[in-house]
Structure formats: structure tokens, C-alpha cells
Amino acid sequence: MTESVTTTCGYCGVGCRLEAHRREDDGIASISPALDGPANLGHTCLKGRFAHRFARHRERLTTPLIRDERGGPARAASWEEAIERIAAELGRVRAAHGPDAIAGLASSRATNEDCYAMARMMRAAIGTNNIDNCSRVCHSPTSFALRKALGLSGATGSFSDFDHTGATLLIGANPTEGHPVVGARIKQATLRGMRLVTIDPRRIELADYGVLHLAPRAGTNAAVVLGIAHVLARDGFVDHAFVAARTDGWAAFAELLPAYAPAAVEAISGVPAADLERAAHVYGEASEACIAWGLGVTEHKHGSEVVQLICDVALMTGKIGRPGSALLPLRGQNNVQGSSDMGALPDTYTAYRSVADEAVASSFEDAWGVPLSRTKGYTIPQMFDAAVAGELKAMYVFGEDVAQTDPNTAHVVHALESLDFLVCQDIFETETTKYADVILPASSFLEKSGTFTNAERRVQLVAPAIDPPGEARTDFEIIKAVSRALGHELPWATPADAMDEIAALTPDWAGISHARLGRRGLQWPVAPDGSDAPILYERAFAREGGRAHFAALPYKAPGDAADDEFPLILVTGRRLQHYNAGTMTRRTGNVELVDADVLEIHPDDAARLWISDGDRISVRSRVGRIELPAQVTDRIEPGHVFTTFHFPETRTNLLVGASADVNTSCPEYKVVAVDVRPIGEQPARVPALA
Amino acid sequence: MSRNLVELVRRHHAFDAPTALDVLKDAVERRGELTDEDRREAARRSGLPEAAVHGVSTFYDDLLTPRGARHLRVCTGTACFAATGDAHVDALRDGLGLQLGERAADGSVSLAETVCLGFCHSAPAVRDGDTVDAGPGVVERALAGACVAAAEPAWSSTLAEPVLTRPGDWSGLRRVREEGVTPEALLEAVTAAEIRGRGGAGFPAGVKWGFARAAAGEEKFVVANGDEGDPGSYIDKHLMERNTALLLEGMALAAHAVGASHGFVLVRSEYPRSRPALEAAAEAARAAGWLGERFDVTVIEGAGSYVVGEETALLACLEGLRGTVSARPPFPAQEGLYGRPTVVNNVETLCNVPFVAVHGADAYRALSPDAPTAGSKLVCFNERFARPGVYEVPFGVSTRWLCEELAGGLRDGRSIKGVQIGGPLGGILPAERLDTAFDFDALAAEGCMLGHGGILAFDDATSMRDVARHLLRFGAHESCGKCFPCRIGLQRAHGLFAADAPIDRARLEQLLETLELGSLCAHGGGMPAPIRSLLRWWPEELGLAA
Amino acid sequence: MSAPALTVTVDGASVEVPAGATVLDAARAAGRWVPTLCFDARQAPFGACRACLVGVEGAAAPLPACTTPCRDGMAIDTEDAAGRRVAHAVVELVLSELPRAPAPHTELAQVARRLGVGEPRWPGETHAPAPPDVRHPYLAFQHELCISCGRCVRACDELQGTFALTATGRGFGANVAAGLDAGFRDSACVACGACADTCPTDAITEVSLLP
């Protein structure tokens, strides 16, 4: 057998530990699960196990590319030339327009060390807080809400809580496709007797294993959660001792509840009142219960408010801070948690400490030896707005395909076209690299070292199984080189050195080092002695006075709604076989299993619209139009349609408008009013921009 | 068995609704063979995944052979073998021009083998549709399409106060109800009566019930194991068809003692009369108020598998799953049918209970004064005997008395070469050892077992190598395929005897030891017993290498 | 909350195991090797292969380590002579049903080597040789190498929860199938690969790893 390396999966946020077996002649021979992986317990899914061929795909970027003129052809270039060009252009923009005319995007796919390096480069080498990462468009509402309600931005427990809980409310998540290994763990728990309530406009697979499925109209989660809280309060499930001892704000929240009687919630959400009562009782009657959620909660206009209401439900019943009683956001990407933990955000340093906090900022100034801005930078949507407005002139996009994955695609493309200079650092050419002036060939998770932080706050080691192809380099090396060229040396030989700096500057990470992480990782906060925290808030919350905070937030209507012109609501999501923009999975055998995006539509709607299974159809929203095949299924509620955004030829996000979470700008991917109709027999392969 | 599959069935399947196996059996009966659409239908109706249904459809004999307009099943059980040396099988095969398991090209007729139709008193037996014909002339009648129902065996008791041949009259349950006998008191009586299981293992029923009663859980079940698969035995058949009320009463009493709400009888599909008889009796019992709300009984028919007589395999079959054996623990008393605490008792075992409920433990223990074992036993004899039939006898009588006096010795002036007692997993007692007492321990000391109580004589014309080949062919065919020693070992053991070559005794003994020590259940573990008897008493007939 | 630990003796050495531990757990905790073919620590014990028979003081015959619960004070002999004879015989029997030897890296080949089982001496029927079933992009069947240990079926059931695999047939004809036996692709398979990962003979393996 060939050489094997234990590493952490680079797909979703579960954080499966993998054994990558290297082929003698380069490349990955196979991948198997690490038997001692704490999140995956010797299991993995088809992405982690099989979808690794992309790493040696012929389309990998293997040399830097430069466009001598915007929109012109790209040519191969040396690293020296590419980095010189970047330094010169960014220097020119900074000189002419100031550091805040430059913005950078770190990636939730990249390691903690890469993200930290990127954030330091933007802050110290460029001098701006214009740094954000793609968690903006998925779980930023979770992060915001958890910090506001409980103190820390992370799950309060671990996946193992599913193994010893009596009941779980699963809201707006489809784990058997999006987080397959956790989905499998939840399914096994239901078969052992854990009572599962699924809440989603789609009848997801796990609904077949649960005791109850609620299908609220998209955008009405807040009403459903308030309705559950109403029943819990009405029927005596409030843990008054806990509320009194460990929380504040209960009275204001309690005052809100009378308005959310089950009948009233039924009118808003369409969820039968009796089902709502049952759901509340399933949760309330279990001595230990969990709530888990995904992007079906967050990617809404009021997503961050719904997460706070979810926290309210756990707090009022005291089901938090114990084994089996946890709040478990299912993070989308492998390092959604870590990229934000690392301060690749426009308003915070590591561990969510404000850029305006003088003590924190000066500690980084001392460490980095440069003055740092106290002004919040742009979020991702603000970056695009600023680019269109002419205020942002240059961007450095690392490991993201914003032109495919971000909402309001036409606006994103307009923004990229408006820039003076765009750097992309990626492993493949993407929709976004089409607009780049310099493209840097980077490395996949199989080619780098560092750490990812999974949805349990577990920091786990990533180890290289193979080398980057051709001239490609690790992201860590690339960022170091660019930063050096910009005049700011990142003083680390290895990612482990970078982690030592992170630990030194971040109290919650004080005890973390690569050596200490070992095979099982550590769940932050990690004390200087190395003891970690599988369960948060066992004794106190991480807010002032140690008390959690009830948010008293009423239901508010979503940003978009069906009307006569756009009578159906589009929900977008992920399929098992593919991963987000499909950059990796489309370049593996997974396309033999699923080779296109399809639109799921309920048989009643399909019949009314004269649509048959497999028909090519047109989907039009207020901002765009796409074409794709229909799949008629009763897994989706009438009035809703569902699709994915895995294939660039579909360009689903052309349909998604500018509506976003009120607190975090996370786009409202989950509620888009659309018009669906059949089209003629000649399919247009190139979707029309509206 | 997969806990998850059991849980899926439990959630999706009302227990009096057809199981996946029932749906498949019905499809075969209607159309003669299974299609994938039938399998999908069975999956939809049972809640089982399609793959699991596929697994079921490849397990049971009844689902595997295609059926013509006329479906003939020829019995290849040991009694029929002892009667003809399998000449009846060859005659049918030749007469029809069909191999076993084959259907005529025009679909008019099909031929399958079946192991033991329970007409061992009148062998050989052939089943045409649901008519079982047996005895002289059966092959000719079958070929002519003129099968007639064979006569059921005679039965009688040698006891003044019969237990098992007394027609069931619900007097035990009546007494329990009228006198308010508590579950604890009934359990105590059954325990004190020392009723030993009659299915082969001889485990004390009271102890088993005690485990089930003590097991945590609201829902508990009583299961009557009517899968009397042992070729040569038709005792449970007799009880299930001709003393039905006694069995149902025994189940109701067991349910009372352990707190069970529902009962199941698993009957063999080889006994086409059993299910209708029991269902009619259950209906009558409901009308009379003996069964109903407090406790009711569902009768489920198997589909052709010997190993389903093993209790964990039996439960799997009741759930409509593959009838494979599961390692214990957990024992059914803790985690049985649908994962609930379950008492699994042999049919005859349960039929002892009404007597105890009426007359008490002391009266029961007094029935067999000359033996350590309490109660009485039904025995039956194969067609080689002069007076085959079902007899109720006390334990401890001599085997010779049973064979020579009660059953009248062999017919046609033949003499006994050996008798196999208690089915294919029992040793073979040579004629010179017939004085052995008929009881658990005495027979065990001779390498034999009481087993089910079937007594099957091989006459002086029988080749003992043929007996070995016959038994091992049966053993290999019926292996459920789960444990390696049985799955492969019986195939290899049969291969040794089927090949036209001398047998290396050391090699054979190694195989027998592997089967005995390694097998998961009594099937693989028991198959060596008759082979060891043959090695002990008739080594010169086995073709051993010099 | 948890029941008290048990102390057992494995080959003379005392070892403490949690309540509910099996004899195999104890042997492994003591660092002793017990041959197994159907065991996978990720799955509930199955008790099919019978290669793990060990001696237990007071027991009339060797017991399967994987399904026998420990009792406090139990004395276990992992190298019980009769148990090892059975293990050796079982492995030889298993090898005898395969039309070709399992690849050297497979668990079956490793166990055979460690027990010193060479070429099987059993003549007679084997599984029918057949080309691998490669209808799925990642997962291949080599039915001729299946030893019906049930690990793939249980991985799909107990680990993944997809129930795409089943045991088929019975007795010597037992094997495995996906769905209605039309291959992985036309089954409920989600390609998690847990079956290939646990297979001790490569009867299910990755297409890219086929010889």
C-alpha cells in the first residue's frame, strides 16, 4: 500500500476525519474514513470519500495567468510577474484612492491559517478592514444571533448530542444531503427512538424517520418558532428556575407570545395548529432536546432574528448546556466556523472582537507592528455596491466564485466589471475568474496543511496528501508572498507558526497548537492548559453577568412574496452528489450520478402549469430568468419550487435579488417569488440575463 | 437481525396486516413467480427497503420455484426417504419430464421439492396444490392428476389423564378468570410444574416466562412456534389442526402470565390445513369470549425454511424478514418480536399449560413417575412401523417399548436398523440400544436427543451412507447462510458423502468439530450428531478411507 | 449513571472493561489478537464468522468472543486450542468457496496468513467466477469474492442508514445485492462507500482500485 495521511475533509461543515491514501505515481488512490474521527465515527459520504479526482483534473490551474487588458485573453505568467503586477496595481489603487478602495475575500473553504493570513494581509499590508468571507452568505445570521443571545458564535454542543437526546427540532436543514454524515447520525438516532420533528417546506428524507413534519410557507419560520414558544409557555414547559437564574429579557419575550397562538401561526405559516402543538410537546416533554438548523433558517430577510428566537426556545425550557440539550447550527462549508473565528470579517478580529475595541486593536498593532484601522469595512454585498458606485477599485478574491454563488448575479458581474483590478486565487477557472486581471493557481484541501473548524467548534488538523500540481502553490505561501510584495512580511515558516500567533492573540484559542490538536482536534474555547469545551454554558453564558438574553422579536414578513406575476416561491439548496458551485464535484465521477440542476415542483402546480416531469421550463424572478428541467415531486409543498446552484450553465442565482438579512446582509436565497412556465422544445443552453 | 429493519417494520406495519413475505407469497400464488414490481409493492406495503425485500424474496423456498397451473411438490423428507430411498422422487421427475424446481415450458405443470409434508405415517407424500396425497400409488395418482387427500394419522393416549390428547375446552383459562388467578400465581404454577420446552432444547418454560415478565416494556408478545420442520415429525401438525383450542388456550394463559397483549402462531406452509384450522378456532374463541380485546392471536404462515424453527429466525419470519438466525443475547424474552419482550414456545409446550392451569403443578409432575422429566410427551412414528400415528406417552418408558409395543414394530417383516429420534439433528440409535429410556438425559447419553419426539425407523434395507448423504443434503440446503461453519461446512460435508470417493475420517471429524463448536444455532451444531452415530455404529457402511 | 466496570482476566492479565463489554472488547483492551472476519467495531456484533472462538473458564466449549458478554471475574483464554482449530477450519472453509485467492491486502488474506492457513484443501463448488460489476462510477461488486459476512449490509444499515444492500440467497448460495440486484446505481445507494470500506475481501471495492 502507498503512503497515507490523516486529514480533515474539505467539503461540508461536519469535519470528517479522513485517511487519504496517496498513489505512488502522484495523486490520490483512495480516501477512507478515520475510525477515530469524532464527528464522523469511521464514516464519510460520497464527496469526502470519492470526489477527489478534481485534485488532478486537467483543468486545474497550474500556472499564474495574467490578462494584459481587462476582458482580454489570459496568458501564462511567472509567479514573479504575477505578484509584481498585484503589488503594483494594489499599490497604485491605494495611493490614488486610499486603502479602503481595496477589498479582499477570504474563503470558508480555506484553512484557519489561510484566512488569518488573508485577514492580516488586508489589515496590515493594505490597511483596510474590507475583508469578508463567504459565511456572509450562509451562516452570518447564526453567528450574529448566537453572540447576541448566548455570547459565543458557535454550536453549544456537539454532534454526539444527537446520540443522547430525547428529541430534536430540525429546522431548515436537509442533513442527509447537505451534511450526509450528520444526517446518517440523526437517522440512526431516530431509529433508536429519538423523536425528530422536521420543519421545512420540503419533505426531506429525514421527515420519513421523524415523528412529525411541519411544512411552513417559506419565510415564516419566525411565526412557527414563536408558536412553539407559545405552546411551551402555555402548557407549563418553562423552566422558571433556569430563566430566573441564568437569563434576562424573559418578560418582554413572554409578552410577545400571546399573539402566537397555534391558530394565528397557522394563518401565517400554513402549519396546522395541531401539528404545532404536537411539535412543542415533543420538544417540551423530552428531558433533553436539541434544536438544529441550517440555511433554511438563516438565508432570509429575518434569518438572524429567527436564530435568536430559536435560542429563546432553548432558554425558556432550560434545554441548553447539558449533554443532549444543545443548539446545533449545521454549518455549510468545511470552515464556515473558522473563517469567521479568524477575523476574516469587516468588523472583527479573531474570536469576534470588534475592530473598534481599542485594547484588541492595539494588541494586534503591537503584534503586527503597524497601525490598524478602527473603522468597519465592507461586507460582501457592500463591496459589490461600492464597486458599482466607483468607490471600490480593486478586489482580491480568494477561493470564492462570487459570480456563480452570490445573489443578484447580474449585479455581481457588473461590480466585477467595474473594478480597476481583480485578483482571483483559486484552483480552477470559474465564473469569477473571467473578470480577473491576475489569476493565481492555488491548492486544494488535499494539498495543504493547517486547520479547519467544524460545526461543533472543533479545530482539526489538515495535512497534505499530495503536492499542488504544476506551478500551483499553497494558499498560505501565496498570501505570504503577496503580503511581502506589499511590504508586510508574514513572519511564519509554516501554518503551525501562524496558529501559534493566533493562540497568542486570542484568549479563546490560547491552548490551541497544531501539536496539541492531535488526531481528535479540540473544541474552542481552549484554555491555556489545553482543556477544551464540548459543551458551552454549563454554568454561565458568555455575556455580561453570565446571563443569556431573550430576544423579543415578532414575526415579520419575508422580503419577497408571491403575487399574480410571480406566483410561486423558489427555495434553493444543495444535493448530496454536489457541493455548492460544483467547482470540485463537477470534475469527479459524481456527475455520472447527477449531471444537472433540476427544478422540483409539486404535482398540483405542475398540472396547473402544464408541466410534465423532465420538461424544460423557464423560471423568471423579479431580477432574472433561467431555464432548466422540471422534476415533479410531492416532496415539495404546493406553491413552492426548489432547485440547486451546482451547475454554471443553470446560473440559478440570477434569480435571487438583493433582499438580505436585516442584521448581517446574508442574502435571502430561500424566498424568491418566481414565475414558472414550460418553454419550447429547443432548449436555450445559455441562460438569458434579464 | 437488523434492529433498524425491525424498527422500520414495527413503525409501518400493523401486525395483523400482511408482511412483506405475505405480499410476496400471495404474488407467487397468484402468478406463479415474482417480478420486481411485486417486490416494490411488498416494500411499499411493509415499510421495508426494496433491498431488504429482495433479500427476503431470495430466501424462502416457496418464493424461489416457478409455479405452473398445477404445482406439484414432492416430499423429500426423511420418512419419505426411509420409505422409498427417494424412488418416488425419481418416478415423478421422469413421469413429468421435469427437474425439481422446474416448470413445463407450456406452464401447465411444475415440480418442486418440499421437506416434510407431515404425512410421515403414510409416506411417500406428494402435494398437488393444497391437496396432500400420500402412501401407495401416490406417484401414479399425481402423474394422472388424480391426487386425493390422504388420511390423517391415528392418535391415542397411554395416559389415564391425558394432557395433550385431551380436546381443548378452555377450562384452564376459565379457572384463571373465574377464580382470579393472578399472573404471578400462574407463572409460579408453570415454573413449579417444570414444563420443559418440547421444541428440542428442553428449556424450562417457566423460567423463559419469568424473563419475559420481568423485562421492561409495555408491549409484549407470545409466539407459538409451529414451524415443525423436523422431517419425520407431525406432532405439532396434529395439535395445530386437530387440537387447536388447546394451543390457543395455552397461548392465552402464557399471555396472562407474562402480560402480553398479542400472540402469533407461525405455521408451516408445508401444512396447508394448519392456518385455516387455527383461524377458524380463533374465530370461535373470539365468539366465545376467550380471545379478543385482552389478548388476540394472529396466525402467520411461513414460506419454506427449516431454520425458521429456530426462535430468532422464527421472529424474523413473523416480521416478514429473511429467516436467518441471530446471535443471542439479546434473548427474545428481552428483545423479541418487533424488538419487544416475547415468549417463544413450541406449540406442544404451550399445549401443556392448560393442564397445569386446571390441575396444578403437582398433578402435572406426577404424570411421569418413572422419569426426571415432568408431564407427558407426544411421539409419532413413520410409515415403516406397523402402527404409525401420534401417541401421548409418559417420559421414561423404554424406546424399545415405544417402537415394538406401541407402534408394533416394523411392517412387512422388516427389522429396525436404527431409529432417529427428534429430527435430523438427533443421533441415530441402533436396534441394540433400543432399551434406552425415552427421556432427555438418557437419550443424550447415547448421543441422541428427545427433540421433537418424532421416531423414525430405518429398516434393514437402508444404506447408511445414503442416510448420511440424505441428511447432509437436507442440512446444506436448509442452512440459513449466516454462520460460516454451517453455510460452508455442511456443503463440504455433503460433498464428501455425495462424491464417489472414500472419505478421510480425520477430515470429516475436523469438519464435525467445526460444526459442533462453531455453529451459531442448533442446525449446524446438530447436524453432526447423526453423522457421529453413523460413524460409531455403521462405520463400515460409510466408505471411509482405509 | 453508567454501570460499574468489570474486571476480567485475558490470558492471565487482568483488564478492566465497561459494563456491557464483550469478550472481544476485553481481549482487544488487553492487547490480545482474536481472529475475526465479520466484526467491525462500527457495527453491532453479528456472530457469523465464528473465527473468534475463545476459551472461557467454566464453559464447556469455546465461545464466540464478539457476542459473548463479559462477566465480572471471567477468565478468558484467547488461544484456546479448540477455538483456534475452529478458526483455522473456518478460514480454510471460507477460502474454499472463493474461485480465486483474495488479494493480499484484504482482511481475509491477512487473517489467513496470521493463522497460517494456506491453500484450501476442500474440493467442490466455489462461487461462480464473473467479471466485476462496474455499473456505478465508484463502487464495484465482485460477487465471487463475497463471504457473506454481512458487514456491507450492516454498514449500509447501521452506519449510513440507507438500507441499499441485502443478503441474498441462503446456505452456500448466499451473497449480497444492492437494491433489487440491478447494481448500485439502480438502488437507493448514496455512494457513501461504507460497504467497500468494511469489506474484508474486496467483494465490494472502489472501481478505481480494481486490479
CATH number assigned to the domain comprising residue A259: 3.40.228.10
CA separation, residue B511 to residues B493, B506, B525 (Å):
7, 9, 11
Helix (H, G, I), strand (E, B) or coil at A199: strand
Regions in chain A scoring below 70 on pLDDT: 1-2, 680-690
Extents of the domains making up chain B: 3-58, 70-144, 155-365, 376-459, 464-541
From B8, which residue of chain A is nearest by alpha-carbon distance? A191
CA separation, residue C175 to residues A384, A481, C152 (Å):
59, 57, 11
Q: State residue C3's pLDDT score.
A: 64
Bond from prior residue into B124 cis (ω within 30 degrees of 0): yes
Q: How long is chain A? A: 690
Q: Sort out which chain B residues have CB atoms less than 8 A from A188's CB and list them.
A: 4
Q: State residue A684's pLDDT score.
A: 45
CATH architecture of B464-541: Up-down Bundle (1.20)
- The residues with which C195 forms a beta bridge, in sequence order, are none
Q: Determine, yes or no, domain membership for A618.
A: yes
| φ/ψ (deg, to 5) at B268 | -85, 145
CA distance B35 to B28: 9
Q: Residue A496 region, left (φ>0) first, then alpha (ψ -120 to 50), else beta?
A: alpha
Asked whether the CA dihedral B434, B436, B439, B445 is positive or negative, the reply is negative
Give the model's confidence band at B324: pLDDT under 50 very low, under 70 low, under 90 confident, else very high: very high
Give the model's confidence band at B200: pLDDT under 50 very low, under 70 low, under 90 confident, else very high: confident
Domain boundary among A329, A346, A380: A329
- The residues with which A422 forms a beta bridge, in sequence order, are A395
Q: Determine, yes or no, domain membership for A532.
A: no
Are A249 and A339 in the same domain?
A: no
Q: Determine, yes or no, domain membership for A683.
A: no
- For chain C, residues classed under CATH 3.10.20.740 are 1-124
Instruction: Please report, for the domain that includes residue A392, its CATH number.
Output: 3.40.50.740
C-alpha cell at B45: 406495503
Q: How far does the CA of residue A237 sit from the closest CA of chain B (Å)?
A: 26
The answer to whether B420 faces chain C, any CB pair under 8 Å, is no
Q: Residue B446 region, left (φ>0) first, then alpha (ψ -120 to 50), else beta?
A: alpha
Mutate which of C172, C175, C189 to disrupt the B interface (most B C-beta within 10 Å)? C172
Give the relative orientation of helices A221-234 and A273-285 as an angle to the nearest 10 degrees: 60
Strand order in the sheet with C75-77: C13-17, C6-10, C75-77, C53-56, C63-64
Report chain A's C-alpha Rg in angstroms.
24
Helix (H, G, I), strand (E, B) or coil at A371: coil
Enclosing H/E stretch for A647: none
The answer to whether B51 faces chain C, any CB pair under 8 Å, is yes
To the nearest whole number, what is the mean pLDDT of chain B?
96
Q: Determine, yes or no, domain membership for A562.
A: no
Give the model's confidence band at B317: pLDDT under 50 very low, under 70 low, under 90 confident, else very high: very high
Indicate the residue of C37, C67, C179 with minimum beta-carbon distance to B50.
C179
Q: State residue A680's pLDDT score.
A: 66
Are A129 and A244 in the same domain?
A: no
Answer whether A46 sits within 8 Å of C138, measured CB to CB: yes
The arithmetic mean of pLDDT across residues B242-248, rounded, is 97
Are A645 and A507 in the same domain?
A: no
CA distance A657 to A271: 27
What's the per-residue H, E or C state across A397-427? Answer: EECCCHHHHCCCHHHHHHHHHHCCEEEEEEC
From B6, which residue of chain A is nearest by alpha-carbon distance? A191
Q: What topology does CATH give the domain B155-365? A: Rossmann fold (3.40.50)
Q: What topology does CATH give the domain B376-459? A: Ubiquitin-like (UB roll) (3.10.20)
In the predicted structure, residue C1 carries a pLDDT above the cut 70: no
| Single pTM value for the model | 0.95
Q: From the centroid of its chain, how far is CA A591? A: 23
Are A638 and A670 in the same domain?
A: yes
Q: Which amino acid is at A348?
A: T
Return all residues near B183 (Cβ < 8 A) that are at least 6 apart.
B213, B256, B257, B258, B259
Are A253 and A288 in the same domain?
A: yes
A517-530 in b/e form (b: 16+ CB < 10 A) is beebbbbbbbeeee
Residue B461 near residue B537 (C-beta atoms within 8 A): no
Are A199 and A311 in the same domain?
A: yes
- The residues with which B114 forms a beta bridge, in sequence order, are B75
Domain of A52 in residue numbering reads as 4-56
Q: Determine, yes or no, domain membership for A346.
A: yes
Are A193 and A152 in the same domain?
A: yes
Q: Where are the beta strands (DSSP E) in B228-385?
A: 262-267, 296-301, 342-346, 376-381
Q: Which amino acid is at C205?
A: T
Are A309 and A199 in the same domain?
A: yes
Are A290 and A356 in the same domain?
A: no
Instruction: Tell me which residue of B539, B473, B472, B481 sits closest to B512, measured CA to CA.
Output: B472
Q: What topology does CATH give the domain B70-144? A: Glutaredoxin (3.40.30)
Q: Report the neighbours of C using a cutoff of 3 or more CB pairs below 8 angstroms.
A: A, B
Q: Determine, yes or no, domain membership for A527.
A: no
**pLDDT digit string, tens, across residues C109-164:** 999 999 999 999 998 999 999 999 999 999 999 999 999 999 999 999 999 999 99
CATH architecture of B3-58: Orthogonal Bundle (1.10)
Mutate which of C106, C197, C204 to disrupt the A interface (most A C-beta within 10 Å)? C197
**pLDDT digit string, tens, across residues A136-151:** 877 889 999 999 999 9
Cα A245–Cα A547–Cα A168 angle in degrees, nearest 5: 85
Answer whether B8 sits within 8 Å of A188, measured CB to CB: no
The arithmetic mean of pLDDT across residues B87-113, rounded, is 97
Give the model's confidence band at C201: pLDDT under 50 very low, under 70 low, under 90 confident, else very high: very high
The highest-level CATH class for domain C1-124 is: alpha beta
Domains in chain A, number: 4
CA distance B100 to B76: 11
Of the options 3.30.70.20, 2.70.180.20, 3.40.640.10, 3.40.50.720, the CATH number for the domain spanning C139-209? 3.30.70.20
Return all residues near B346 (Cβ < 8 A) that are at least 6 apart.
B197, B198, B199, B200, B224, B225, B236
The answer to whether C193 faces chain B, any CB pair under 8 Å, is no
Q: State residue A689's pLDDT score.
A: 44
Q: How long is chain B? A: 546
The answer to whether C61 faces chain B, any CB pair under 8 Å, is yes
Instruction: Tell me which residue of B442, B423, B449, B395 sits closest to B194, measured CA to CA.
Output: B395
Indicate the residue of A30, A187, A590 with minimum beta-carbon distance to C206.
A30
Enclosing H/E stretch for B518: helix B505-518
